[in-house]
């Protein structure tokens, strides 16, 4: 037992896993933050221009079907190696679930509420900001949560193109066939993902309790 713990500490120190974890979370946070802003904005945009909704969502769907390794490679000519293309790839993957959920949420708010909002004298803009967006928050949160999982995956893959993060330790372990390293880095990455998703789940529940319709 103590030996195992010692092994873990050894791997952790050798591969700078504390630093790698910070790098990992750094890329993850930036990617998810930007993806959320772009995704929600795009969702609102295509909601307000319904003609664009299908083309835009189709394009995002195509991006989504590109395998992640291929996407990283495709981005190399533009962004070089490292964290840049990894973050961009994460964002590209994450926009779809957020934008699609935002769009669906805005569009599918129970018509009864829109109707009474009009009836008591809200302008279309006020209906969007006071009724549609707040009432879509549970669905938007669901989209962000899906994006979170995508982002975790892509950021880990970033180790392939020298992005840093936990993926780097994992890659090293694979190249050198160090089972200990693979296990420690792999399990830790998995635990991290589960913890983050757990927090996201709690946040989503809170938002649903506050803004969901009953």
Determine, following the binding rule CB under 8 A, whether residue 206 of this chain makes contact with another protein: no
Interaction mask 135-174, another protein, x per CB under 8 A:
x-x-------------------------------------
What is the signed CA dihedral for 197, 76, 186, 141, rounded to 10 degrees? Answer: 0
Sequence-ordered list of residues with C-beta below 8 angstroms from that of 115, at least 6 positions apart, any chain: none
Q: How far apart are CA 89 and CA 95, in angstroms?
A: 10
Determine, following the binding rule CB under 8 A, whether residue 116 of this chain makes contact with another protein: yes
Using the rule CB under 8 A, which residue among 30, 63, 122, 174 binds another protein?
122
If DSSP states are collapsed to H, E and C, what string results for 110-162? CHHHHHHHHHCCCCHHHHHHHHHHHHHHHHHHHHHHHHHHHHHHHHHHHHHHC
Using the rule CB under 8 A, which residue among 10, 61, 126, 199 binds another protein?
126
Determine, following the binding rule CB under 8 A, whether residue 134 of this chain makes contact with another protein: yes
Rounded least distance, CB 139 to another protein, Å: 13
Determine, following the binding rule CB under 8 A, whether residue 203 of this chain makes contact with another protein: no
Size of the site for another protein (CB under 8 A): 22
DSSP label at 108?
Answer: T
Using the rule CB under 8 A, which residue among 2, 5, 120, 179 binds another protein?
120
Start-to-end Cα distance in the chain: 51
Residues at the interface with another protein (CB under 8 A)? 112-113, 115-123, 126, 130-131, 134-135, 137, 210-214
């Amino acid at each position: 037992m103590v030996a195992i713990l010692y092994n873990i500490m050894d791997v952790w120190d050798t591969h700078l896993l504390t630093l790698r974890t910070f790098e990992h979370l750094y890329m993850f946070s930036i990617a998810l933050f930007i993806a959320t802003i772009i995704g929600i904005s795009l969702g609102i945009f295509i909601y307000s221009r319904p003609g664009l909704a299908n083309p835009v969502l189709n394009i995002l769907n195509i991006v989504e079907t590109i395998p992640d390794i291929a996407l990283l490679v495709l981005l190399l000519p533009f962004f070089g190696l490292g964290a840049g293309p990894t973050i961009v790839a994460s964002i590209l993957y994450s926009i779809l679930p957020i934008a699609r959920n935002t769009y669906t949420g805005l569009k599918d708010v129970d018509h009864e509420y829109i109707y009474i909002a009009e009836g008591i004298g809200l302008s279309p803009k006020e209906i969007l900001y006071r009724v549609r967006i707040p009432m879509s928050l549970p669905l938007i949160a669901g989209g962000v949560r899906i994006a979170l999982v995508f982002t975790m995956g892509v950021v880990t893959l970033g180790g392939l193109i020298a992005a840093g993060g936990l993926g780097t330790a994992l890659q090293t372990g694979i190249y050198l066939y160090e089972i200990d390293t693979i296990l420690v880095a792999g399990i830790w990455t998995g635990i991290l993902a589960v913890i983050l998703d757990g927090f996201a789940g709690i946040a989503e529940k809170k938002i649903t309790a506050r803004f969901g319709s009953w």
